[in-house]
A and B are shown apart, each in its own frame.
Chain A
Amino acid sequence: MMRSHLSMMSAFANALVTASVALLFFFVLSPAVAAPSALIESIAATAAPSAEYSVGQLRITAPWMRATPKGATVASGYMTITNTGKEPDRLLRVESDIATTVEVHEMSVSGEVMKMRPLEKPLEIEPGGMVELKPNGYHLMFSRLRQGVNEGDKVSVTMVFEKAGKVEIELPAAGIAAKGPANEGTMPEHKM
């Protein structure tokens, strides 16, 4: 019994040490580690400024899309929408000259089966909340493209929110293989 207590205590102590090392790393070292990538980002940002839009209480950051393959009839667009207000807001409508329809779709996987579905209710952004439109999740679905999208294009999109109203934004097109906005493209698998 004494032994098991000891081993329990030593396991606890171990966990404590691991946790404090992790915390130490997080607080002391991570700024140092983060610094170079922040530098890269700021350099990249001068080359391609990362757009940010405000409308009412909403902020739209990191809008982007992928260049489309030749002959593509559809495209998808991504961004982060943050609600800094006290009321929920809803995305009622999206329009763009490049496509006949633009809807918010959700990609989901159950088992190994992948599905794309338009949202049944307008996308809601909770007060103080944030909604990410990103690959393998919510995305703007541009259907019946009137033109293809090339890397470097800036695609104009009008977003109409219930409370915040209308805002026109630009989605810069990253490469066809991009996993994120162009200014993060130099760092594959980069996670914020």
Chain B
Amino acid sequence: MLKNVRIALWAACALPLVALLAVVGLELTQGTNSVGAFQASGIGGPFKLASSTGGELSSDDLKGEPFLVFFGYTHCPDVCPATVSDVSTWLDALGPEGKGIKALFISIDPERDNVASLKDYLSSFSDRIIGLTGTQDEIANVAREYRVYYAKHPTKDGDYTMDHSAVIYLMDRDGKFAGTLTYDEKQEAAVAKLKRLLASA
């Protein structure tokens, strides 16, 4: 009798734990799946865009060099400048060995971001970050290749803000997806990931 009660009590304790583990497990596998799905469908692809450093930059120009790429717009007050300055800080923290990594900021607001405004904007951060823009079609195309969502959201005063994926992609020397950084990644973790990217052949 006592034994049964004991078993029941243990079960009562264990049940929420099992449920919790199941939820965590599910989230973990879903997380892995989404990364897996990314890889399977192939994040990244060919592009040729107007560069803030002059001329055009294409995916072919980047062959043999690992790079990081993120999407944003210069009319964004809070997260975009913070991300651009974080990326600058991470690149600086890598020191000379970090010179091997290119950093690309692709505008998802080509209507307002031209080469000159991107150049101006980025000059306030690091000369290591290359701004890219293009026609609406070119941007739509590169966003599709990188599975980046973006949408215009009109504001009352006739302006608009952009909703957009705030993820930073790490791409290896072959232009293949190698991982992500998030906009609020801690410096130590970010630098470690960038070092791994550099070390990967």
Contact = CB atoms under 8 A, between A and B. Distances in A.
Interface of A: 1, 66, 68-76, 100-101, 105, 107, 109, 111-118, 135-136, 139, 141-144, 176-177, 179, 188-189
B61 interface: no
Contacts, number: 104
A136 B157 contact: no
Interface in B58-84: 74-79, 81-82, 84
A66 B77 CA distance: 9
Contacts of B79: 107, 114, 135-136
Interface string B149-190: 100010111010101111100000000000000111011000
B88 interface: yes
B141 interface: no
Contacts of B153: 115-117
- Which size class do B's interface residues fall under? 35 or more
B155 A69 contact: no
A114 B75 contact: no
B84 to A, nearest CB: 8
Interface string B67-105: 000000011111101101110110000000000000000
B120 A70 contact: yes
Given A69-B81, A73-B75, A114-B183, A177 B166 contact: no
A112 B43 CA distance: 15
B78 A72 contact: no
A22 to B, nearest CB: 23
Contact of B165 (A105, A112, A116, A117): A112
B123 A139 contact: no
Contacts of A74: 75-77
B164 A114 contact: yes
B78 A116 contact: yes
A72 B81 CA distance: 10
B200 interface: no
A158 to B, nearest CB: 18
B117 interface: yes
A65 B38 CA distance: 37
Contact of B166 (A68, A71, A109, A141): A109
B32 to A, nearest CB: 16
B164 A118 contact: no
5 contacts: A69-B74, A69-B120, A69-B124, A72-B121, A112-B167
A179 B3 CA distance: 58
